[in-house]
Amino acid sequence: MTKNSERAIDAKLTRRAFVGAAAATAAVGLAGCAPAATDEAPAKDEDLPVTGEDPYANAEIFYSTCPPECQHHNLKGYVVDGKLVKVESSELNDCAACARGIARGFMCNDPNRLTVPLLRDGDKGSGKFKEITWDEAFDLIQQKLDEAIATDGNQSICYATGSGNFGAMHGPVANAFFAHLGGATTTVGKLCCAGVYESVVYIYGKRFLDCRNQIENSTYCIIWGNNPAITKQGYFQRFEKVVENGGKLVVIDPIYTESAAKATDWIAPWPGTDAALGLAMLKTIVDEKLYDEEFLLAHTCAPCLVDKATGEPVMEDPEDPASFVVLDTATGNVVRHDAANITAALTLEGTPQAEQYNTEFELIYANAAPWTVEAAEAECGVPAADIQRIAREYATAEHAMIVHNMGGFMRTENGTYAVAVGAYLAAFCGQIGHEGEGYSDAGGVCEVKTGAPIEVPNLLEKMPTIPCFKFGESILNEDPCKVNVFWSMTGSPMTQWPNTNMVRKALEKIPFVITVDEYLTSTALYSDLVLPCAGIFEVDGVLAQNRSHWIQLMEKAVDAPGEAKSDLEIFTELARRYDFGDAFDVPMETLISNVIEPAGITYEELKEKKAIDVVGPDYIPYKDGKFLTPSEKAEFWVRSWKEEGFDPIASYARAEEDARNDNELARKYPLFSVQQKTYRSVHSTFNNLEWMDEVCDQKPVVLMNVADAETRGIQDGDAVVVFNDRGEHHGVALVNDLIKPGVVGLQNGWWEQQGGSSSYVTNDKWRTLGGTHCCNQTLVDVKKEA
């Protein structure tokens, strides 16, 4: 076994080089994207031998990618004498990778990495483990899986994957394994993007068709409820070019973020009120006739009829989901929406059909009508004049876009409606499908098909699902099933899932918890068995995920530390023990080919080019107003919403957990809290790296407005406790005017070993429309640490 100490590199040296480079350009996390740590050879550093030679001249070069939810930078690794000594952006990127991308090199050489399987040897959470062999680990896993199936069936096995790695040999392989095993319980409810799935997918036909490549062509860009200067650093330079070119950049966020610092406008609504804000903008646009009538009639279902008696869209053929009908103003007849030579009516006022039908346009306006700019000011805390101004500017801009990037505004009770209203605005104003326009998601494309590396067989019986927001209650109450084995990988429920105390109790109750990770994470602390996992540059694979414009080859550059194995290797060995190993034990070339062949790419081509842009630099989603719905138009009425008992047209009502409510909860906990992403991590990934300590916060920060801090006797730098009935989060107060009074900002992703996650206090409401996470609809109070 290779000792960790033998793998270590001089992280201090490279860290200093990184800090110097960052200081020379801009404040870290503000200028968009930090330079690569080793873009300039640190020849003058006193810790380096000054030889005049290029230390990387004879290095072997390998390519991989940084797969969490950022830019998905293509990375270039340099290997000397079997060690990964340098990581930088490859020549395929148009900018340098951020600190998290560069950190991949430090992760490969981190002496804190797990190297052997660990079996719990004390109470859960104690951190006491003993080393065991892989044979012992596999024997134990098989024994526990067999016992679970024998006593309570396959449904008593539950597994959860996350966004820790989006490579095709991780989550997809887990899906294949448990399906081959006969099925397992999974989790339901999306922590980040349920609002998009439950709105844009139905309204526009698909998601992930983002307009990243069109940002710098925009003349008016609204960054709604997200902070791309931190979370999408790889292309924040494109937002800056909007301003450089004379355009406007508007940030809507209760926090004056790094992105807001680069913007021309900052709009700060109360958390969870974004749907009301958007409806007020829409009402202004309709009242002032600033909408694009030609686009609405040609490319949307705004004129399509909805029966007043049933509340359902009227269809020419009930079996044809694209057969909407409209009123033809020329003939007075009700005809199919795509009939030739018709002029559809947006409103039915004054027509005989008005008694029986509404148009979708009328229904949308009816929900927007109560939201005058004055009413929205009272509800959202945004001046009426600002709401009116940005509505007018957006509607009349030459090229406008809204970028929501799975933003925090959708992680609220009204999150699905808030996202939908943004989709309405883009379609009403015709600001989509053209150069410099669009309604942009988190980066990626769904137009290119990809496959699974291993076939996932159909299950003979439907398996239960557990809401991840109510994971603790579900496990403790054995509802909908008893869980005997829980397999956690590519994520950390103890840092990310809401109401952490309940998650902890669940992990303590489950008889056998397995965590697969590179580190002893917060979740691993509460596990019975921890398996060491190989990471980036330690495995072969492919990134072909719908959060990237690129399909990227992932090359193995070095061996994983000690006895760490890839997820694929782990599942392949287990598959052999269950007699379906042949499905897994196939060459990597075949697995990669299975993934990329549906996209029309061969393994040989990818191996040569390393990464392939599958859409091209001039890509425009929904080009020329052609949507991917059955009608090929934007469809505003959403059936699934009605089936869940909600209004099928986007609306707004104040949330259950709101500081303005006249109830005991709001009096007890009078502060809104919202989650902040940090420069040092993606969720909880990278957060434990010591290298991050020199360029980022070293402890959780609690952002407070001066007024809120003074009321509580809190000063900048004080140790504080954020608390509610769910739990406590400990941090250091950062007191200034960069956050709306009445709101506190909590940093996401801190580990149990670093003081605990802000998820200890977050709202675990279930069920919301579409299953949105309500972490940003959380009430708290703050006090000084005793």
| 3-state class (DSSP) for residue 707 | helix
> What pLDDT shows up at residue 219?
98
Q: Is 62 exposed, middle or buried (0-12, 13-18, 19+ CB in 10 A)?
A: buried
Could you tell me where the DSSP H helices lie in 288-383? 293-299, 360-368, 373-380
Placement of tokens 């008893």 in the chain = 482
DSSP letter (8 states) at residue 270: P
Domain locations in the chain as residue ranges: 4-108, 118-184+451-543+556-609, 197-445+626-643, 664-784
**Assigned CATH for 197-445+626-643:** 3.40.228.10
How far apart CA 760 and CA 733 sit, in angstroms, is 17
Residue 555, token pair as written in the block: 């090359």
Please state, in angstroms and as integers, the Cα–Cα distance from residue 380 to each residue in 367, 567, 580, 703, following that order.
16, 46, 56, 20
User: Which contiguous run of DSSP H or E holds residue 172?
Assistant: helix 171-180
Closest to 515 measured CA to CA, from 180, 190, 3, 117? 117
The SS3 assignment for 401 reads strand
| CATH number for domain 664-784, candidates 2.60.40.10, 2.40.40.20, 3.40.50.300, 3.30.1330.60 | 2.40.40.20
The pLDDT, as a whole number, for residue 51 is 64
Other residues' Cβ atoms within 10 Å of the Cβ of residue 570: 25
| pLDDT score, position 69 | 62
Alpha-carbon radius of gyration of the chain? 27
> Which amino acid is it at 559?
D
Average pLDDT along the chain, 786 residues, taken 10 residues at a time: 30 33 29 34 39 86 84 90 94 84 91 97 97 98 98 98 83 96 94 90 93 95 96 89 98 98 98 98 98 98 98 97 98 97 97 98 98 98 98 98 94 96 98 97 82 94 95 97 97 96 98 97 98 96 86 96 97 97 97 96 97 93 97 98 97 97 98 94 89 87 98 98 98 98 96 94 94 96 96
Chain position carrying tokens 């201090």: 12
- Report the distance separating Cα 56 and Cα 75, nearest Å: 16
Q: How far is CA 141 from the centre of its chain?
A: 31
pLDDT of 545 reads: 75
**The tokens of 106 are what?**
């430090």
Domain boundaries 118-184+451-543+556-609, corresponding CATH code: 3.40.50.740
* Cα 613 to chain centroid, rounded: 21
